Structure formats: C-alpha cells, structure tokens
Structure 1
Amino acid sequence: MNLQGMRALVLTAELGSVSAAARRMGKRQSQVSQWLSNLELDLGLTLFERTQNQIVLNAAGEALLPSAIMALSQWDSFQGAAEVLALQGKNTLVLGVENYIPISSLNQAVVLFCQAFPKVNVEIISDSRDALLESFKTKEIDLVLVNEDLSLAQLQWGYCRVGRYQDVFVVSPDHPLAGQVCDGRELAQYRELIWGRGEMKADILDVGFSSHYCISPDLPQLLTLLGQLPAYSVLPKVLVQYKLDSGELVILNLANELAPMARFTQLFWHHGFELSPLGKPLLAELKVALNQMI
C-alpha cells in the first residue's frame, strides 16, 4: 500500500479538495487523484463520494481516517528518527551529573539544545561519581559533569574545567551559633545533616566537624529538619537561596572560612563528540551555563 495514497486521503479530507491536497504535496492533481484511486483499489473500498465539483469522504472513508492519521504520524516519527541517525549518528543524548551539583544550572543549556534538536531525546542522569564514570567509560553516557578532582584528568577523554558553585554552612536562625563567628570545636557539638543524594554510606561522604550526623537523600526533608533541630548542613548556596531570602535559614560564619567555599566542576566527553553536530553546540551551551553558576 502506497503511503502517498494515505497522505493524499488525509490531506484531501483536511483541505476539502484534491487540488488543495495536490498543492500541499507539491504534486499534479492528476497524480494525487491516481494515488487515491489506487488506495481504494488496494483496500477494496470506495472512500469518497465524487461529484463533478466536489469530493467528500463517505462512511468508509470517515471510519478509516483516524487510523490513516495515526499511521502517517507513526511513519513521520520513524522517518524523523532515521534522519537524525543518518545525519547525527544517534537520536538520544545522555548527560550524567554527579550528585550534589545543582542540576538546575543546566536548564538554559538543555532548553537551547532541545529547541535546536527537537527530534533528539535527552536523558539527564544524576548518580555518584564512580557510577557515572563507569557508565561513561563504557560509553553508556555521552558526557559527564563531576566535581573537580585533578586525578580525573585523562588524555583519552575530552576535558574542560568549567564553572563553580558556592557551598555554605546553614543553620536555623534559632540555632545557638547563629549570628556568631564560631570555630570547628564549637560546631562539633551539633549534629550535621548531610544531603546523601544516593551515596548513603558515611565513609564515602564528606562528613564535617561533627561526629554525629543524619543522612537524607531528600533535600526538602533535610531543610525541614534544619528548621527543627539544633543542627547544621553544608549545601550549595543556589539550592537554599530562597530559604536565606525568606529568613528561614541563615549562613553560619566560621572563623577558618573567611572566603567563599567554591567547588569547581569538570566536564568530560568522548573524543570526537566536540566536533559532532550534536556535541559541538551542546558543549558550547553547557560551558556558558556552567560558568554562570554561583
């Protein structure tokens, strides 16, 4: 069965005439009429009521029209995916982001990429550094964003040190140390609330001054606990800025932390990705977006 005949059916029904359908398809009216006749022959059904000046769907045509529309939609989707694979090599791009990095910092880059490549699927995965790098090495992930670790710079990968975000010690405004300049010994008396994000073992997490901690993978729960306990937490400032603005949390001032605590990030990709039709624009947008992190 000719797909052109099915498309002619849908367009003739939509536009109300064979001549209009022919103009939309960029074909001669006689060609479109022939496709419609061939479609009826293939189906063994008459789909239109024809008069000298008009052609309209009959009951059989009306009944089959929704299926024809769905079939064409599926074909167009299939054809679009094939075009993406032919021109760009893949139709899904996977970006891995290490736990704790503010993933919202990627929003602008993802929006621009999706607008530029509407037929390419985007998967953003958040996981531990080790899990992401393992998937990256086996090429399950196209590029990965992790917290800086100089030992990770390897020549077999594309690499860029890009962006940073600020960590802050935060407490409830009712915390005994709020508003003071304190040191680590004073802070050690209080429980640390740790945002686990999938790395739930204390021996692989950065536990700070206190030997007493509570680990939670859920940031909203952790922020609620901060408001109810004499505890502290170290979190990306961008994720708690709204709590700071509302006065629900305050930044704790430490005597040994006189400068902002900046965490730098690294971006890794497979060689050749930076030259591909997908990789080149995405890397450019990510670099711009990540350099705007605070």
Structure 2
Amino acid sequence: MKYSLDQLSAFKAAAECGSFSAAARRMGKAQSLVSTAIANLEIDLGVSLFHRAGRYPQLSAEGKRLLPEAIAILQRCEQLSGIAHSLNAGQEAKLRLAVDDSAQMPWLGDLLEQLATKFPQLEVELLFPIMDDLYKLLQSGRVDLGISYEAAEQPKELAFHWLKQCEVQFVVSRQHPLAVAHNVSLAMLQSHRQLMVTGRQSGAEKERFRYSPSVWWVEGDWAVLELVRRGLGWACLPKHFADVTQEQDIIQLPIQFSESQLQLGIQLVWHPGHQLGLAGQWFKTALIQGAIAG
C-alpha cells in the first residue's frame, strides 16, 4: 500500500467539488499538485477514479465504489487525531464509573448525555457493582467514580459527597399472603421469606435491612423484583426502582412499625489518592452541582 492521506484527501475534495481546480482551491494547493496526487492514487490502486473526457472530471464506477472507503479512512484518521489531542490536553483515555443499582440510570441519563457531548472521543465503562463490591473497585483503582447508597460503615480512605435522598418501599406480589393484609407488622414480615440484594463481599452491610430469619440472597435488584413478582417473598426496594418498573402485579405493603419509613442517601464516592482526568473532574463537579441545585 503506497497511497497517502494527501492523495485520499485530494480524491475526496475533487469528487465533492466537481473539478480539480475547485478541489485545489479548497485545499489551498496548486491544481497541478491535486491532479498529480489523484493520478498517483489511481496508479497505486490500479483503477481509474475519474473520467476526464469532458470539461469536468466525472467519477468512474470504480471511483464511486472507492469514494466511501476513502472517506471512512479519512474520518478514522480525524478521530485518531482528535483522541490524541484530547489525551494531550489531559483527558483520560477511559472514564470508569460504578453505580450501585442500575435503576438509577434514568436520573443519571441526562448527565451521561452531556458527558458524551462534551467529550465525544471519551471511552466510558459503566459497571453496576453492589454495596461493598463498589468500594473494593474504588480502593483498587479499578474504577474512577462511584455512585452508591449510603453505607452504615464507610471506608476511611474513600471520599463521599451526598447527592440525594431515596425512599425505600416494602413490596410484595399481589398473589402473596401478605398482599391481603391491611396493616403489616414486623412480626408478619418475619413469618415470610425476605428477598435481599447482596454483593460478593461478606460483612455487616448485607444484613443492614434484614427483618426476617428466612432470606434468599440475590445479586441485583432486577432479579429480586422478578422473584417478588413470582410470589417467592417480599423485599425492600428503592422507590425510584419500583417507579421505573411500574409493575402491575406488585404492590407496596402497608407497613405499621417504627422502622417502616426507611430513607437511604445516595452519594458520590471517589478515592482522593487516584487522580481524575478532565472528563472525570467534569462529571464529578456536575454531579455535586446538580445535588446542590436540587
């Protein structure tokens, strides 16, 4: 392969402008240089890209077929240059985000759209670890920023900033025995299986909202919701998660005991010792400013 980007650029300009002279004016070069570049490209490719019999050159069948390929190559080169420029300016190659509970995506979606617009060359990795698993990823440097529920015990080496409050609801399937009760006591909850979200780390955090001696541990809110829907137990789920699902066969239990009004803080988490790039700094600031505005 001997052809150059200059040759491909001349080919593209001539095809779009309709003449070699107009292409030369666009590129700021002498017409002879553009004509020579296209002629050399034809030699390198072994095909004629233009018919030159008329007053203005016309794309040949081969030229029409190869033009989109040439444009694609030039666009990828522009993308390469753009990424290199962003990296040179301090933007990280990849921003790695960890979010405890994928049901938070609706309110995060707007901010992610802004991130994509502001940093179009940025590669993003979005993970959904649960509870202590998220902290482990931050501590190891595997992710840059985390959004998690407020834990009873927070690792001292991590930094936290409160973002918003989340209400927790007690939910059950309409077919479950508890669904017909008008007032559900703690003793009634304890007599039925509880479905609880769990991470892969052991510790006190996973037992935090345990009320029943009988528990099924499930990795993920969506799986918990499916088991609730099938009548396999009751669960405590974030209100925004229940709102997103809009399940017709799942109801909120009328709880009547002192701890029934559960509130969970949602917080931004990061490791102060791990430096953020431009995109990470922007995303962190946007989250904090949004929390203040809200």
- TM-score, structure 1 as length reference: 0.79
1:190: how far off?
A: 0.8
Picking from 96, 116, 124, the partner of 1:114 is 116
Structure 2 partner of 1:277:
278
Tell me how far apart the structure 1 counterparts of residues 30 and 46 of structure 2 sit (CA, whole Å): 25
Tell me how far apart the structure 2 counterparts of residues 191 and 202 of structure 1 sit (CA, whole Å): 21
Structure 2 partner of 1:195:
197
Higher strand share: 1
Tell me how far apart the structure 2 counterparts of residues 57 and 137 of structure 1 sit (CA, whole Å): 59
Tell me how far apart the structure 2 counterparts of residues 109 and 35 of structure 1 sit (CA, whole Å): 46
Structure 2 partner of 1:58:
60
Tell me how far apart the structure 1 counterparts of residues 147 and 98 of structure 2 sit (CA, whole Å): 6
8 Å CA contact retained: 1:194, 1:234: yes
3-state SS of paired residue (2:287): helix
Q: Structure 2 regions of 5+ residues with no counterpart?
A: none
8 Å CA contact retained: 2:162, 2:291: no
- Letter of the 1:111 counterpart: E
Structure 2 partner of 1:237:
239
Tell me how far apart the structure 2 counterparts of residues 223 and 71 of structure 1 sit (CA, whole Å): 47
1:38: how far off?
A: 4.0
Matches within 5 A, 1:200-279: 205-206=206-207, 208-217=210-219, 219-229=221-231, 231-241=233-243, 246=248, 248-257=250-259, 259-270=261-272, 273=275, 276-279=277-280
Task: Using the aligned pairs only, state the percent identity.
Answer: 24
8 Å CA contact retained: 1:47, 1:61: yes
- Letter of the 1:151 counterpart: Q
Q: Structure 1 regions of 5+ residues with no counterpart?
A: none
1:81: how far off?
A: 2.1
3-state SS of paired residue (2:211): coil
1:28: how far off?
A: 4.9
Q: Which moved more, 1:282-291 or 1:80-89?
A: 282-291
- Letter of the 2:154 counterpart: S
CA RMSD of aligned residues (A): 3.5
Tell me how far apart the structure 1 counterparts of residues 62 and 227 of structure 2 sit (CA, whole Å): 65
Structure 1 partner of 2:16:
14
Task: Give a deviation string over 1:180-233, Cα, whole Å, max 9, x none.
Answer: 34432221001112234x549798633611111223346455334434437310
Tell me how far apart the structure 2 counterparts of residues 119 and 223 of structure 1 sit (CA, whole Å): 36
Tell me how far apart the structure 2 counterparts of residues 242 and 75 of structure 1 sit (CA, whole Å): 41
- TM-score, structure 2 as length reference: 0.79
